[in-house]
DNA sequence: TAGTATCT
DNA sequence: TAGC
């Protein structure tokens, strides 16, 4: 049950095994073109535990000097991000309930030790569009709160193929990943978890 | 527009 | 800096 803030939807088992495998293949080709890198915190330069890349016209990046932002190019290669694959556009069209296509897909790779502290996705200018999150590989313990950091939180297990849609009132809720559950999926041969988040950055023109 | 942030 |  993930409805204590309206606009947060958990769709368990949304993607069947074949669609999960197809997505992993697509992600492999994206990562070959736009390699995973270790993002660091603004100001401190502390590395995050996830590795990250993007596809789509824009990608979310962070570094010590310039902080959180969206940009059209990979910070290491300087090349444009790979295109958003049709598989992801199809998912967006099915669940987002939003006219305009996503502009960014952040690809986060979690090793079995990686975590993600509670945070809000609020670097987008368009807060009307939802954020659509796709889980692949090992399951995780996901935690969702409210609009304020100290609000009560709820923990939910997310499994491979699950979707979470953060929209409406839930668009700016705090959320994070407390734990990856090792060896809970056979999708990724080397373990870990991939999370894809589809975001609309700019308001419709 | 300056300060802040997915860190611990 | 609670919750894992």
For residue A3, pLDDT over 70 is answered with: no
Q: Is the CB of A28 under 7 A from strand C?
A: no
What is the rounded CA–CA span in Å between residue A172 and residue A38?
A: 25
A93-CA/B7-C1' distance, Å: 34
For residue A1, pLDDT over 60 is answered with: no
Q: Cβ(A64)–Cβ(A40) under 8 Å?
A: yes
Q: Which of A29-38, A83-92, A145-154, A183-192 has the lowest mean pLDDT?
A: A145-154
Residue A37, annotated ligand binder?
A: no
Q: Which of A20-29, A40-49, A191-200 has the lowest mean pLDDT?
A: A40-49
Q: Is the CB of A143 under 7 A from strand C?
A: yes
**Strand C close residues, chain A 83-142, CB < 7 angstroms:** 117-118, 141
Provide the pLDDT confidence category of residue A151 given band limits of 50, 70 and 90.
Answer: confident
Kindly give the residue spans of alpha helices, DSSP state H, lying in chain A: 17-33, 86-95
Give pLDDT tens digits for A97-131. Answer: 999 999 999 999 999 999 999 999 999 999 999 99
- How does the average pLDDT of chain A come out, rounded? 94
Q: Cβ(A170)–Cβ(A196) under 8 Å?
A: no
Going from N- to C-terminal start, the domains of chain A cover 8-199
A64-CA/C4-C1' distance, Å: 27
Q: Which sign, positive or negative, has the C-alpha torsion A138, A144, A148, A150?
A: negative
What is the rounded CA–CA span in Å between residue A120 and residue A145?
A: 10
Q: What angle do CA A131, A133, A138 make, to 5 degrees?
A: 165
Q: Which sign, positive or negative, has the C-alpha torsion A113, A150, A136, A138?
A: positive
The CATH topology of domain A8-199 is Jelly Rolls (2.60.120)
Provide the pLDDT confidence category of residue A182 given band limits of 50, 70 and 90.
Answer: very high
Please give the pLDDT value at position A141: 96
Give pLDDT tens digits for A55-85. Answer: 999 999 999 999 999 999 999 999 999 999 9
Q: Cβ(A148)–Cβ(A161) under 8 Å?
A: no
Q: Is the CB of A152 under 7 A from strand C?
A: yes
Owner of token pair 């270790």: A38
Nucleotide nearest to A44 (CA to C1'): B7
């Amino acid at each position: 049950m993930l409805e204590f803030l309206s606009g947060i939807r958990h769709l368990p088992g949304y993607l069947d095994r074949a669609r999960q495998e197809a997505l992993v293949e697509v992600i492999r080709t994206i990562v070959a073109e736009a390699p995973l890198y270790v993002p660091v915190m603004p100001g401190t330069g502390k590395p995050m535990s996830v590795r990250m890349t993007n596809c789509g016209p824009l990608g979310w990046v962070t570094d010590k000097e310039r902080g959180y932002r969206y940009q059209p190019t990979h910070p290491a290669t300087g090349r444009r991000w790979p295109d958003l694959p049709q598989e992801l556009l199809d998912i967006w069209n099915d669940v987002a309930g939003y006219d305009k296509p996503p502009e960014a897909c952040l690809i986060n790779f979690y090793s079995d030790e990686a975590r993600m502290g509670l945070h809000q996705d609020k670097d987008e200018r368009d807060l009307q569009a939802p954020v659509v999150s796709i889980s692949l590989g090992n399951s995780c313990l996901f935690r969702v709160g409210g609009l304020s950091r100290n609000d009560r939180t709820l923990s939910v297990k997310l499994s491979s193929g699950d979707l979470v849609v953060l929209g409406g009132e839930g668009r700016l809720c705090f959320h994070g990943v407390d734990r990856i559950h090792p060896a809970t999926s056979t999708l990724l041969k080397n373990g870990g978890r991939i999370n894809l988040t589809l975001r609309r950055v700019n308001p419709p023109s």
